[in-house]
Chains A and B, each alone.
Chain A
Amino acid sequence: MKQLTNVFAGIGSAVQLMFRSASYAGTLPRQFGRFIEQCYLIGYTTFPIVMILSAFIGGVLALQAGYSMQDFGTQQFIGTLVGLSMARELGPVMVAILVAGRVGSAIAAELASMTIYQEVDALVTMDIPPERMLVMPRLAAVLVMMPVLAILANIVGWMGGAVVAKSVSFIAVEPTAYFAALRRYTHFKDVFNGMLKAEVFGFVVVLVSCSIGLNTRGGPREIGASVTRAVVVSLILILVFDYFLTHLLMSVM
């Protein structure tokens, strides 16, 4: 019962934080430096790992698909499979999981530490709302960077698939044939679908991490507990939102 109460309290706290932070959206031009710093931390520092993982995920997809398709002689559709899987599902979900692990954990650790060591209290007494200075620039930055990361993940994943499709002997699909199949069935709406998902996932990850960080109570040990909680909750929410968003987008688009 107590755990259920905590879950609802957590949801309520995150929703409140979202509205309070949104009320400071107008201050963003004044906080341009902080916004750029967060874009750098969320986008640029996550970029290399997104590239590496996307290349391998695209490659594994092509490999698995090629292995199964060789029995039916349908390897020429590998490009379609990799293209759609990356654009609609794997690209945004993988980027969100990476952002949760790399950025969400860092945000939760930083804000939890600031809360424990009374830096947040100091901000409050100085009439500087933490939602304005600590949350708003992060939410704005993730909304800008997530679609960029998702598109880059798609492109690199497609390339990884093309390399594997060409170089593995039992698949042996030429890049021209691979990309022709990819273009034929992967449309802009599929890429847009993925970008929208990435946007929602990234927003949820940052909001949850900020909320958990700012609600940390106790001693330094709680900082670690908050980081773990932020990552676990983010991962669960990514998959829950993925299911419902997929349903919604399928009916709308």
Chain B
Amino acid sequence: MNTYIIRRLLQVIPVLFIASLITFSLIHLVPGDPVAMMLGDDATPEDIAHLRRTMGLDRPLPLQYVEWVGGLLRGDFGRSIRDNREVLPTILRRIPASFELSLVSFILSLSIAIPIGIFSAVRQNTPFDHFGRVFALFGLCVPNFWMGLMLIYLVGFLWGILPMYGRVGPVLWTWEGFKHAILPAITLGTAGATLTMRLLRSGMLEVLRQDYIRTARSKGLGERVVVYKHALRNGMLSVVTVVGLSVGQLLGGSVIVETIFSWPGVGRLVFERFINRDVPMVLGALMFFGLVFCLNVVLVDIIYAFLDPRIRYD
């Protein structure tokens, strides 16, 4: 098991290396001058040249790349050109708020997706299953920013049930704080929830067709035991992957959701800095998200290997 973990961690390195090349070349090699974009229309050529020099953009690209990656490896993600603060601490400071939101969203979406997923598979082609399919289709097609606005309008304004935006204190400990997290968490979690539901449903249908399920039924076990003890364990395997991978979706979705709901997390920070063309911040945030995503994939693989011994010995 340990060798497996180490091997998986080592495999992250080339992926991150390529991701860093992609990030760097997209920002530096695409047509258009990021420095001129940053300074706006009324910048003089001298201003542009000056900023180029300060940012080190006048040096050869390979050198710039090596220095940038060297910095990343030492944990130095560079300095923002907007407030001259270091990029990494700025991001890390915003993590708790985003983490809280993701956690609430995770719990809400799983507690909806898992029961619906199981029941639609067990009661295939019943009205319940059709309802599940409609729900899945809805989550696949609804634009999350629009859904967030509609929730604010309906639940927050028209019915006045929940607060419309903002974050109050530490979410998980106070009722007031938790209430503020519900609408953004629903908006953030819908896409992932419906995906989890769909995959759990097809995973369960697959498992329920297996021979050992028929054996379990034929030796007279109750339906409840067959479904929950025999089928669910294997059906859940597919969910582990999806849930893990939907962390990427949460990170991406957080940009939009946190912006709409004025939630002071990483997503909103990233968006604010992106529209201000804070290039070091853009690069740093991309690599940070990339790292989080990769570690998460490894974590999922480890959990998967833990649950399914067949993987470990491959």
A binds B: no
B-side residues, CB < 8 A to A, are none
